Amino acid sequence: MKEYEKEENSLSDFVEQTLLDGFMKIARVNLITGGYEFLKMEKVLQDVGFSGITSIYDYIRKQVEDKLVLSEYAAEYLKFSDPVYVQERVFSGERRIVQSYTRKAGEKYIWATFSIVVPKDCSPQNPWVVFAWRGADTDTTIMVDALSSLSAIYYKILKINLTRDTFQCVKVDRDEQEMFVKKTDRISEWWNRFAEQGNVHPEDEEVYRQFTGIDRLRAYFREEKTKLSCRYRRKIDGEFRWVQMDLVPSIEYREENQILILYVKDVQEEYLRELQTREKLLDGYNRDALTLLYNRHKYNEDLQKLQKEREGSLTCLYVDVNGLHELNNKLGHEKGDNMLCSVADALRKYFPEGRIYRIGGDEFVMLSDRLSKHSVERIVTEVRQDLWKDHYEISAGVSNMDKAAVYKAVGAAELSMRADKEAYYRRRGDRRQNRALNEELERMLTKKQDAETFLKVIATEFAGVYFVNMRLDTLRHIYIPNYFLQLLEKTDFSYSAAIRLYVDKYVKSEYQEQFLQWIDYEYLTKRLLEEGSVQLSYQKVDDTWMNLRILGVEVEKKQECIWIFLDEKRNLR
């Protein structure tokens, strides 16, 4: 024999021996007849009582029946006892079929890997293959550990063959094992039955069926080799929860043999948080930044929706804030913003179930399909009274029409609001005449040299008039009511200290901080230099409303100012 032939035979023997050493049991199998012959069998995997079995399929079935295979892996392993299942897989072109499982070996259980190795020339005419069993190697152990970790996350893990419409279970919960795995070998049939038996929420069934359409999946994965996901609600322990199904191409994926891994996991809390985040973002987009009411965009969107509703009526309230422009010009936009927020808060308070919008700078709309026109008109009266505490006033109009005529309803309410605003300005003109007289008196106070004599004449028109020296924190005795004189005596005639006692005893708590800012003389001087006068309306503990106006008298030189207190009922008479 030539030397190279000896070397070749030696290498072949080595390769053959190496391959055989890797397996604990090997059988040569005829897939058509089921006939088999063991080429190798180590003692640890010798199965007692199997000597009379002539079919490899019966051999595998008896292993399961004798509980040599751990129960949770039995269903998958038992599939290899079905000649049709095995032949279909082999003759469709699969060259290596592998199934890992746990089996009994002596007195203990071990991880084992069962393989079907298919020669290239295997066919229905030459149906010989090799069935081989071996103990789990390091790679298999690592894989099993990984699957155990995945099992804690996923309800279900399947290996799917789209080409053959079959599946292998890696992990399936017990209920599905009983209902589907044991009753079908087709993944398409499993998916259909799963939905038919009410396991998918009715609202999600159409999406679920479209996603699991096997022809669609085959076409998708021919074009795209990336993960495909679907979220739906499935029944778990009697209740529906959000889950996500992922389909991922396997490393074995081929155009002619589309193998995927399917994962299903619970995403209930995660998805609900995502939905809440989306709702917050959408809500923020639909909200007015200042008042947090719905904005013009949301208003237009809702009107379009309401117009399409053909049943029921709608009451519309249209509100315009009076005096916003003047307030912004005189006291700044911060004060104007406070006014708008107060109006928004009042509308929220008195119309908790209405849909309220800020549709313009000082215009608001409230829509309700529960309140009648009469009810809204009555509630608007309460809104006006509430706002008047802060000296804010609104003009308002109300209308009621069918939802289909929502635009006409808004237009009618706006026209009614315009009429109310005209009436407001007519009333305001009468008030201005009375206020003009008071303002003229105040101007005379700051100019007349013998102010003391003059004030004695008009003192009865005021609740108190004081000339205050901010540098010395004293006042000149012009017109001081007896009760305030007593406060001065208690404080050794310190004007700021007396005012603190007055505020603590007579002024409602919600106005105290705003009132006390004026005895910060440095701040008051700055304001008087900028504006000439400052004003505050406040409410006393006996519910009467007072108006305080402070005017500067050569503030830079003498640091002196006049404090004028006036009962607002007198001011408006």
Residue 191 has pLDDT above 70, yes or no: yes
CATH C-level class of 1-135: alpha beta
Q: Return the CATH number of the domain spanning residue range 451-571.
A: 3.30.450
Q: How confident is the model at residue 389 (pLDDT cuts 50, 70, 90)?
A: confident
Mean pLDDT check: name the lowest of 11-20, 248-257, 304-313. 11-20
Q: State the Cα–Cα distance between residues 114 and 133, nearest whole angstrom.
A: 5
pLDDT tens readout for residues 455-505: 444 445 577 788 888 887 887 656 677 788 788 878 877 889 999 999 999
Q: How confident is the model at residue 378 (pLDDT cuts 50, 70, 90)?
A: very high
Q: What pLDDT is stored for residue 430 in this prediction? A: 43
Q: How confident is the model at residue 80 (pLDDT cuts 50, 70, 90)?
A: very high
Residue 6 has pLDDT above 50, yes or no: no
Q: What pLDDT is stored for residue 136 in this prediction? A: 65
| Domain 286-430 identical in fold to domain 451-571 | no
Residue 247 has pLDDT above 60, yes or no: yes
DSSP class of residue 31 equals T
Q: State the Cα–Cα distance between residues 9 and 133, nearest whole angstrom.
A: 26
Residue 259 has pLDDT above 80, yes or no: yes
Q: State the Cα–Cα distance between residues 573 and 569, nearest whole angstrom.
A: 6
Q: How confident is the model at residue 188 (pLDDT cuts 50, 70, 90)?
A: very high
Most confident residue range from 65-74, 77-86, 444-453 = 77-86
Q: How confident is the model at residue 565 (pLDDT cuts 50, 70, 90)?
A: confident
CATH 3.30.70.270 fits 286-430, yes or no: yes
Q: What pLDDT is stored for residue 73 in this prediction? A: 83
CATH architecture designation of domain 137-285? 2-Layer Sandwich (3.30)
Residue pair 529/556 in contact by the 8 Å Cβ criterion = yes
Q: State the Cα–Cα distance between residues 499 and 491, nearest whole angstrom.
A: 10
pLDDT tens readout for residues 23-38: 788 889 999 999 999 8
pLDDT average, residue stretch 285-312? 86
> How is residue 283 written in tokens?
């809500």
pTM: 0.38
Chain-centre distance for alpha carbon 563: 54
**Can you give the residue ranges of every domain in the chain?**
1-135, 137-285, 286-430, 451-571
Q: What pLDDT is stored for residue 436 in this prediction? A: 43
Q: How confident is the model at residue 556 (pLDDT cuts 50, 70, 90)?
A: low
pLDDT average, residue stretch 175-195? 81
> How is residue 545 written in tokens?
């409303």
Residue 3 has pLDDT above 90, yes or no: no
List CB contacts of 487: < 8 A, sequence separation 6 or more: 498, 501, 502
- The contacts found for 535-540 with CB under 8 angstroms, 24 or more apart, are 536/511, 537/390, 537/391, 537/568, 538/507, 538/508, 538/511, 538/514, 539/389, 539/507, 539/508, 539/511, 540/506, 540/507, 540/508
Angle at 412 between CA 407 and CA 418, to 5 degrees: 125
pLDDT average, residue stretch 275-298? 78
pLDDT tens readout for residues 106-118: 778 888 888 898 9
pLDDT average, residue stretch 259-266? 89
Residue 395 has pLDDT above 80, yes or no: yes
For the chain, percent of residues with pLDDT exceeding 70? 81
pLDDT average, residue stretch 557-569? 77
pLDDT tens readout for residues 323-367: 887 777 767 788 888 889 999 999 999 999 899 999 988 999 999
- Residue 4 has φ and ψ, to the nearest 5°, of -65, -30
Average pLDDT value over all residues in the chain? 81
